Amino acid sequence: MENIVILGGGIAGTTAAEELRKKNADVAITILEQEHHPLYSRVLLPHYVKGKIPREKVFLKSWEWYSSNRIELMVGVRAEGIDILNRFVKTSEGRELPFDVLILAGGGELNVIGGEPRGVSYLRGIDDADELASLLKETLMRPQDERRGVVYGSGFIALEYINIFKHFGISCDVVMRGSGFWSSTLSAHSQEVLAKKAIDGGVLLHINETEPTILGEREVTGVRLSSGAEIPCSMMGVGIGMHPDQSYYRDCGIEIDRGIVVNEYLETSHASVYAIGDAAQFFDGNVGRKVVYGNWMNAQSQGRAVAKTIFGERAPFNLVSSYATHLFDMHIVFIGDVDRKAVDEVRQVAATESASVEEFYRGGKIVGAVLIGDISSRATITARIAGRE
Amino acid sequence: MKLRIVVDPGLCIGAASCVTIAPDTFVMNTENKAEVIDHGATPDAPSYERIVDVTEDELQNIILGAQSCPTLAITVVDLDTGAQLYPTP
């Protein structure tokens, strides 16, 4: 083995590179990364935007780290195609990078509205966070009654925007395509608990708005709802999900479903080609089916696991991963497989005005859970999903 | 060796990756923040900061736990040498 090529320099790909280097001093390791930065933590972006940490603290690796570990980081470069038979990756620079081992570790692409005026922001990468930070500064220079933000979305990123607007005392209207927060995942009660928390915090919710119109030519001035009502705003945050970028591997012969299909060892059907992190649809033995998870813990752990597999320490990937967030001071935790369409039964095990706990079951076994407002059962549910209790 | 292990509750977002990797050293509290424990036990009061005596193997796992934190909320200092082991300065 001479060349390992990793497509994607996020936490999954970079962890893989780090662990591979620990195990082998000689193999050439190359990471292709579309963005122009060394590894940083997307999870820290809200902290940075709120001014809780300086920008440099967002970065988890320095440029020197790559050179001292002899990991070649090619930034601003995309894969354009993969030739599995002849073992090379075609890059956006027109190069053909040979590989003996290939690790697909790409993230997703943002769903965007497109053609939006200035003031409309997204929160995916550090470049987005920089833009959001400057938009916030501009809004905060306005008189208090003109500091108005609109959030479009109802998931994790929408919550980050709500928390950010609240932090800066900017008024907040949330426009949702569905009936509430995570309307395809959560029970009606869970949605009610979150809606109440938001409304009590001064947020206005507008539900079932599938096609809001963004107003303003060069700068955003407001949003028009289906009723014709207009919400004025000086900035808007959009979080309407992601989709996998399959453009460069769609035709290379590997199996694709909702992600790149791999087994419990993170191996594709082609020898020495692996997929990890957000891109991978892997067999999760704890939940008994192939899943795609888009969380940090899963991505990082798979980076570590694939390095072991590549150097012969082959063991099934085993992790009950979770994703934690908050709405103001209300804690929210998603654990394991919470795809409502893929389970047999969802049990509402706690339902109060300020808390909701749902457990997801398949074949009589617990495979996932959502905890809102009461996270005291987090550890025991995690252990039950793992089959330890 | 003696370590000082500190969790910054202002940075911790409750991802719980440290608890998954190093369950003898970290535990989630009711605020959804990680606290430091000593070999699975909580001597005195619960705390975001603790001095613990560990073996070399335990150290490696605690560093992995600290490294897994997406918000760099965990600091590990070697009290024998005074060196900060994570995040590397």
Q: Which residues of chain A are within 8 Å of residue B19 when distances are taken between CB atoms?
A: 379
Residue A262 is predicted with a pLDDT of: 98
- The answer to whether A326 contacts chain B (CB < 8 Å) is yes
In-domain check, residue A316: no
My answer on whether A85 and A50 are in the same domain is yes
Sign of the four-CA dihedral A93, A272, A62, A56? positive
My answer on whether A335 and A368 are in the same domain is yes
The pTM of the whole model exceeds 0.90: yes
In-domain check, residue A315: no
CATH number assigned to the domain comprising residue A333: 3.30.390.30
Helix (H) or strand (E) holding A306: helix A296-310
My answer on whether A229 and A164 are in the same domain is yes
- Cα atoms in the 13 Å half-sphere on the side-chain side of A145: 0
My answer on whether A235 and A304 are in the same domain is no
How far apart are the CA of A244 and the nearest CA of chain B, in angstroms?
Answer: 22
pLDDT in tens, B17-44: 999 999 999 999 999 999 999 999 998 8
In the stretch 16-55 of chain B, residues with CB closer than 8 A to chain A read 16-17, 19-20, 27-28, 30-32
In-domain check, residue A209: yes
> Where does the pLDDT of residue A65 fall: very low under 50, low under 70, confident under 90, or very high at 90 and above?
very high
CB pairs under 8 A between A and B: 62
Q: Give CA separation, B78 vs B16, B46, B84, in Å.
A: 23, 21, 6
Q: Which residues of chain B are within 8 Å of residue A378 when distances are taken between CB atoms?
A: 16, 28, 32
My answer on whether A246 and A101 are in the same domain is yes
Residue B89 is predicted with a pLDDT of: 76
When scoring A44, A156, A319, A371 by the number of chain B Cβ atoms within 10 A, the one with the most, hence best to mutate, is A44
When scoring B33, B68, B88 by the number of chain A Cβ atoms within 10 A, the one with the most, hence best to mutate, is B68
pLDDT in tens, A242-281: 998 999 999 999 999 999 999 999 999 999 999 999 999 9
Q: Which residues of chain A are within 8 Å of residue B70 when distances are taken between CB atoms?
A: 11, 41-44, 296
Q: Give CA separation, B63 vs A79, A210, A295, B26, in Å.
A: 33, 46, 21, 12
CATH number assigned to the domain comprising residue A298: 3.50.50.60
Task: Report CB contact under 8 Å: B17, A296.
Answer: yes
My answer on whether A100 and A248 are in the same domain is yes
pLDDT in tens, A234-244: 999 999 999 98
- The answer to whether A378 contacts chain B (CB < 8 Å) is yes
Instruction: Please give the share of chain A, as a percent, with pLDDT higher than 90.
Output: 97
In-domain check, residue A317: no
My answer on whether A150 and A194 are in the same domain is yes
How far apart are the CA of A65 and the nearest CA of chain B, in angstroms?
Answer: 11
Locate the chain B residue with the closest alpha carbon to A296: B70
How far apart are the CA of A126 and the nearest CA of chain B, in angstroms?
Answer: 14
- What average pLDDT score do residues A156-171 get? 98
Domain boundary among A310, A332, A352: A310
Range of the domain at A374: 322-385
Domain boundary among A218, A239, A260: A239
Burial degree of A229 (CB within 10 A; 0-12, 13-18, 19+): exposed
Task: Report CB contact under 8 Å: B13, A326.
Answer: yes
Provide the token pair at A345: 């039964």
Burial degree of A388 (CB within 10 A; 0-12, 13-18, 19+): exposed
My answer on whether A247 and A366 are in the same domain is no
Instruction: Please give the share of chain B, as a percent, with pLDDT higher than 70.
Output: 100
In-domain check, residue A202: yes
Question: Smallest Cβ distance to A322: which of B10, B16, B71?
Answer: B16
Residue A210 has pLDDT above 80, yes or no: yes
In chain B the domains, ranked by start, together with CATH numbers, are 2-86 (3.30.70.20)
Mean pLDDT over all residues of chain B? 96
My answer on whether A99 and A126 are in the same domain is no
My answer on whether A212 and A361 are in the same domain is no
> Where does the pLDDT of residue A108 fall: very low under 50, low under 70, confident under 90, or very high at 90 and above?
confident
The tally of domains found in chain A comes to 3
Helix (H) or strand (E) holding B20: helix B17-21
Separation of alpha carbons A304 and A288, rounded Å:
22
Sign of the four-CA dihedral B67, B72, B73, B74? positive
- What average pLDDT score do residues A139-158 get? 97
In-domain check, residue A302: yes
Quote the ipTM score: 0.91
Domain boundary among A239, A268, A291: A239
My answer on whether A235 and A116 are in the same domain is yes
pLDDT in tens, A4-59: 999 999 999 999 999 999 999 999 999 999 999 999 999 999 999 999 999 999 99
Cβ A258 vs Cβ A275: under 8 Å: no
Residue A208 has pLDDT above 90, yes or no: yes
